[in-house]
Amino acid sequence: MRSEVIMLSPFDLVVSACLVLAAGFVSLALGLGLEKRLAIASARTVIQLLLIGFILRWVFAVDSPLVVIVILSVMLVVASRAAVQRPSRTFGGAAWRAFASLLLCGLATTFTVTAAIIHIEPWYQPQYLIPLLGMVLGNSLTGISLCLDHILNDLVCKRDQVEMELALGATRWEAARDIVRDSVSKGMIPIINTMMVVGVVSLPGMMTGQILSGTDPVEAVKYQIVVMFMIAAATSLGCIGVAILVFRHLFNDRHQLRAGLIRTR
């Protein structure tokens, strides 16, 4: 089954805006005070999505590897900045460590999928590469953010315990491994929760989009399975990567915890 894609007119978008207007009226009626934020959020949604729509149309038309690489780099930088901004604590050099982790997990999983599963030709075909990397980064940055938040909090709150273990003869890894393990596991919770209920409670956006654009649901499901596995692999790789990089930075080769480097925002 493959039905025609129903093209949306500007009028259709205006009608959909009525839904947000309705939400605004509810907010006004109940005195929730959300109208202004709702209006700003709606305007941002329209502007940001239209902008990316036109940019993607241009990128697809130009079909240049250099342009794709620039886009991917911008996505990576923005994602790594977002990943380090959410945790309540930070340290000098957190951003490049998040960047390195996202680079590793994002490129490794995305290129595995595009090269070994979808077999895109040429390798930089933006129609596949950009949305796939976008999904990987969007999910991995949440995991990395949670992992970072947890590891930094624990190293501050459990500093006495970590130093006690070091003082009794533990190596830095022996003193930190429980915290590292917990942090990676915390970072993985959202994607594991999503995988548990996918298809039952929620239909993922990408799959919904494919179905709406006329793809056979089973074909859309196949793509979604690949994407879920890709995101799960990327999130675990990203969390492990960032946890190891943080561990290597905050414990020196004298097996000391350098908790003084961690600062609260």
Stretch in the footprint of another protein (CB under 8 A) among 3-11, 136-144, 235-243, 253-261: 253-261
Q: CA-CA distance, 187 to 150, in Å (whole number)?
A: 8
**249: contact with another protein by CB under 8 A:** no
Q: Look-up: residue for tokens 């207007």?
A: 21
Number of residues in contact with another protein, rule: CB under 8 A? 16
Q: H/E element holding 264?
A: strand 263-264
**63: contact with another protein by CB under 8 A:** no
Enumerate residues 202-231 that contact another protein by CB under 8 A.
none
| Nearest to 139, CA basis, from 238, 57, 212, 69 | 238
| Nearest to 103, CA basis, from 119, 86, 123, 83 | 83
Q: CA-CA distance, 262 to 259, in Å (whole number)?
A: 6
Enumerate residues 167-196 that contact another protein by CB under 8 A.
167-171, 174
**165: contact with another protein by CB under 8 A:** yes
Site string for another protein, 72-111 (x = CB under 8 A): ----------------------------------------
Enumerate residues 141-160 that contact another protein by CB under 8 A.
160
| Nearest to 23, CA basis, from 3, 4, 41 | 41
State the virtual CA torsion across 254, 257, 263, 264 in degrees, nearest 10.
Answer: 170
- Smallest distance from another protein to CB 205, Å: 40
- Smallest distance from another protein to CB 123, Å: 45
Residue 135 or residue 155: which is nearer to another protein going by CB?
A: 155
- Smallest distance from another protein to CB 176, Å: 13
198 bridge partner residues: 202
The alpha helices in the chain, defined as continuous H runs, are 10-30, 35-62, 65-85, 94-112, 126-157, 159-167, 172-197, 205-212, 217-250
**166: contact with another protein by CB under 8 A:** yes
Residue 35 or residue 163: which is nearer to another protein going by CB?
A: 163
Question: Binding another protein by CB under 8 A: which of 6, 31, 196, 254?
Answer: 254
Rounded to 5 degrees, φ, ψ at 126 are -65, -30
Stretch in the footprint of another protein (CB under 8 A) among 47-55, 56-64, 203-211, 251-259: 251-259
What single-letter DSSP state applies at residue 251?
Answer: B
- Smallest distance from another protein to CB 165, Å: 8
Residues contributing to the site for another protein (CB under 8 A): 160-161, 163-171, 174, 254-257
